[in-house]
Amino acid sequence: MQTLPVLTLRGMTVLPGMLIHLDVSRKTTKSAVEAAMENDGMIFITAQKDPSKDNPSYEDLYEIGVYARIRQQVKLKDDIVRIMISTRRRGDLLSLRQTKPYILGDVAPYDWGEESIMDYAEQEALCRELKEAYKLYLNENPRASRSGAEQISKTKELGRLSDLIAMHINLDYQARQELLECLDLVERAEQVIRILTEEIRIAKIRDDFKSKVREEVDQNQKEYFLREQMKVIRDQLGDEEDTDSWEEKYREQLEGLECSQEVRDRIEKEIKRFVTIPRNSSENVVARDYVETLLALPWDKASVDSIDIHRAEEILEEDHYGLDKVKERILEFLSVRILTGKGDTPIICLVGPPGTGKTSIAKSVARALDKKYERISLGGVRDEAEIRGHRRTYVGALPGRFIDCLKHAGVKNPLILLDEVDKVSRDYRGDTSAALLEVLDPEQNSRFVDHYVDLPVDLSEVLFICTANSLEGIPRPLLDRMEVIRLSGYTENERFHIGKQYLIPKQLEKNGLKKKQLSILDSALKTMISSYTREAGVRELEKTVAKICRKSAKMILADGQDKVKVTNKNLVDFLGKKKHRLLEANRRAEVGIVRGLAWTQVGGDTLEIEVNTMPGDGKLKITGQLGDVMKESALISLSLVRALLPKEDAFFKEHDFHLHVPEGAVPKDGPSAGVTMTTALYSAVTGRKVDPKVAMTGEITLRGKVMPIGGLKEKMLAAKMAGIKTILVPVDNEPDVEEIEDEIKDGLKIVYASKIQTVLDTALL
C-alpha cells in the first residue's frame, strides 16, 4: 500500500501505458499536482462518478484508477496548469486520508492476476483480431485519429494493446472505466473487439444511407444531396415529416387566407415555383420570403370600427387638454366616416409646432375607433423604395413601409400615422413625396402596387393621419390631397393644466415615485412654465418635470427623505438659475430699437430690430442672417421712410444706415417684418424713442400700406409671454384675432393698422 496525492478527472478516464496532457484548473487538483511534484511526481488518477461536483468525497470517486508520474507542468493564462503525465499500472483507491487542501489517498496495485499465463497462440490470435478490427475501424471512419496507429501495430502484449486501442477510439468515460476495471485480459480484449465491431456496423449503416441517397440523386443535380439524405433518414426513422413539409404548411395557410381569386392564384403559382427551386440555391430563400410575405398580408381581413361617437369624444377629452377646435374637427371627421362607412374621407394633416400633441391625437383617434395603430416616420426619407418597396431582382429586396405596416397590423384597415410628412426629400434615388401621392390619393390607392409584392394592394380602407411642423415643406400636389388642421401653441394656463393633470402623474409613474413622495406646488409649476420653458408645446416642460422627479428619487434613496416638496423657494435647487426672463431687452424706451413678432416652426417668438446711423453717403448695411424676403423688406422700408421724411433728404445723403437683427447665427426670413423695420429706421432718423411695451407684425408696401400676415396666434402668445402690453396687427387680420381665445387676448391692447402712420403714431413716443 502507498499513500499518494489523488488527481480526480471529470468526464474522462485514462488507461495505463499512455502519455497524455491534462489541463488542471481546480484549486484541489492544482494542490495535488504540487504535492506530487515534491514526491518524484507520483500521483494517483481516478475519475469522478458525478462530473458536476467540485469537491468530491470517497463515495463520489471510482475506486479503480491508474498510477501516474508527472513529467512536465506549464502554467497557462486564466490560472490553468497543463501537465504531461505518463500512466503506469492500475491501482485501487482504498480510502482517503484528507480532502483539503488536496485529496490524499491510500492506494494499492490492482493488477493481481493480470499477468495470467496464456497460451502464446491464443494471445497472438487475439492480438491479430484486435489489430484487424482496429484497421477496419479506421477504414470505415476516415475522420478518426490515426496518431496511435503505428504504435498499435508494433504492440504485442495483449493487455497493453487493448488499452491503447481503447484510448484511440471514440468512447465515453464510463465505457473506458469498465475496461479499466476489467483485469481478465481475454475479457478486456473481447470487450474492445465488440466496441470496434459496433462502431464498424454504425459506419456501414451511414454508408448505406449515403449510397441510397446517391442512387436517387441525378448526377447533374448534386445540390439535392442534403434534402434527399434527410428524406432517407426520415424514412428509416418513420418520421411523418417529408421534404414537402414547407409546401404543405404554405398550402394550409393559403386555405385559411381571406383574399381574392387573383391573389390566391398568384400565391399558388409562387408555392409551386418555390418547391422546384433547389434548397441550397440562394434563390430558394428569396422565393420563400416572398411566399411568406404574400401569406402574411391581410388581403381581405378587416377589423370592426367602433361607431360610438360619444366614446370617441370622451377619449379625446381624457387624453388632451384644450384644443377645442381641433377636437371638434376630429369628431366631425369621425362622424362622417362612421355614417358613410367608407375610407375615402379626407386625409387629415395635423400641422403645428413640436410638442403640441399631434402624434398623441392620432393615437387617441385609433383608440376611439378601436383601430390598430401603426406609425411611419418620414423624416429624412429619400429613397423611393422606402414607399414603393424594392424589386425582387435586387439583392436584399424588401417590401415598402406601408406593406410592413399592414403585415404588422394584421388587418387591411388600420390607422397609419405619417409622421413628419414635411421632412421628406428627394435625390437621385427618386422622389419620395411623389411616391406618397399614389398612397394618399383615394382615387389610386385602392390598387396600390408595391414593387416587391407586385400585386395590387387595397389601401383605400386605411385611415391616414399626417403630421407636420409647417406646410412649407409639403409639395403642393401632396398638400392638395390633405385636409389641414392647425394646432397652435398652448397658453401658459393651458400648459399649467396639462402639466398638472397629465405630465406630473406620467413622470411620477415613469420614475417610480408615488404622489405622497413628491409634490410640486402650483406656484412652482407656474414658475417652471414662465422662467424655465419658453416653447409652443409642452415637451420642454415634460423634460423639466422629469428632471425634478429624477433628483427627487435620488433624494429619497440616497438622503433618506420620506417626502420631497417643490416650491418657488427651492425650485432653483432642482433646476438651477432661471433660463428665461421677461423683456430681456427693451426695458426702457430707446431710439432705433423696435420689437417685432415672428413665427417659427417651434411657435411664436419676439424679434428685436436695431438701426444705427453713422456718417456716410446713404448706404444701407443689413446683418443678422436675413433671407431674401427680409432684405427686400429692409430696402422697401428705407425707401418708404425717405418718402415720409422729405425734409430729411440731406440726412439720408450724409449718413449710412446699419440694420441688424440680433442672434446673427440664426437664419431669419419671412414676409412680416416690414412695419418693424420701417419703424426702426424712422426712429433712428427722427431721434424719437420707441415704446418698449409695443410689439408689431405686418408687411409694408412702398406706399405705406400694411399687409396681412400669418401665424397670428403664435405671435400674440409670444408677445404675451414676453410681457408686451400693446401689439400692432394689420387690419386685414382682424377676423383672425376674433378667433383667438380670450385667454391670450386678455391684458393685450390690440391696435389695427392699415397704414404705416398708425403704426408710427402708436409705437413712437
Catalytic residues: 672, 715
Strand (E) or helix (H) holding 525: helix 522-527
Do 402 and 386 meet the contact criterion of CB atoms below 8 Å apart? Answer: no
Write out the three cell numbers for 511: 420614475
Distance CA 198, CA 170 (A): 12
Distance CA 119, CA 117 (A): 7
Do 146 and 159 meet the contact criterion of CB atoms below 8 Å apart? Answer: no
Closest CA to 103 of 148, 146, 45: 45
Distance CA 146, CA 277 (A): 41
Question: Prior bond to 456 cis, omega within 30?
Answer: no
Buried b vs exposed e over 140-176: b needs ≥16 C-beta within 10 Å? bbeebeeebeeebeebeebbbbbbbbbbbbebebeeb
Strand (E) or helix (H) holding 549: helix 539-558
Write out the three cell numbers for 631: 432684405
User: What sign for the dihedral angle of Cα 93, 95, 98, 99?
Assistant: positive
Distance CA 380, CA 364 (A): 26
Closest CA to 297 of 459, 441, 163: 459
Parallel/antiparallel/unpaired status of strands 463-468 and 347-351: parallel
Write out the three cell numbers for 104: 490524499
* Backbone torsion region of residue 432, taken as left when φ is above 0, otherwise alpha when ψ lies between -120 and 50, otherwise beta: alpha
Parallel/antiparallel/unpaired status of strands 373-377 and 415-419: parallel
Residues contacting residue 247 through CB under 8 Å, at least 6 positions apart: 271, 274, 275
Do 443 and 497 meet the contact criterion of CB atoms below 8 Å apart? Answer: no
> From start to end of 396-554, where are the E strands?
415-419, 426-427, 430-431, 448-449, 456-457, 463-468, 482-486, 518-520
Closest CA to 605 of 715, 504, 761, 704: 715
608: amino acid identity, one letter? E
DSSP result, 232-250:
HHHHHHT-S--TTHHHHHH
Parallel/antiparallel/unpaired status of strands 347-351 and 482-486: parallel
Distance CA 202, CA 196 (A): 10
Alpha-carbon dihedral 731, 736, 737, 740, rounded to 10 degrees: -170
Distance CA 259, CA 236 (A): 40
Residue 322 phi/psi, 5-degree rounding, is 75, -145
Write out the three cell numbers for 583: 423683456
Do 634 and 622 meet the contact criterion of CB atoms below 8 Å apart? Answer: yes
161: amino acid identity, one letter? L
Closest CA to 8 of 78, 59, 79: 59
Closest CA to 702 of 618, 620, 632, 609: 632
Residue 643 phi/psi, 5-degree rounding, is -70, -35
Closest CA to 477 of 429, 428, 444: 444
Radius of gyration for the alpha carbons in the chain, expressed in angstroms and rounded: 44
Residues contacting residue 257 through CB under 8 Å, at least 6 positions apart: 264, 267, 295, 299
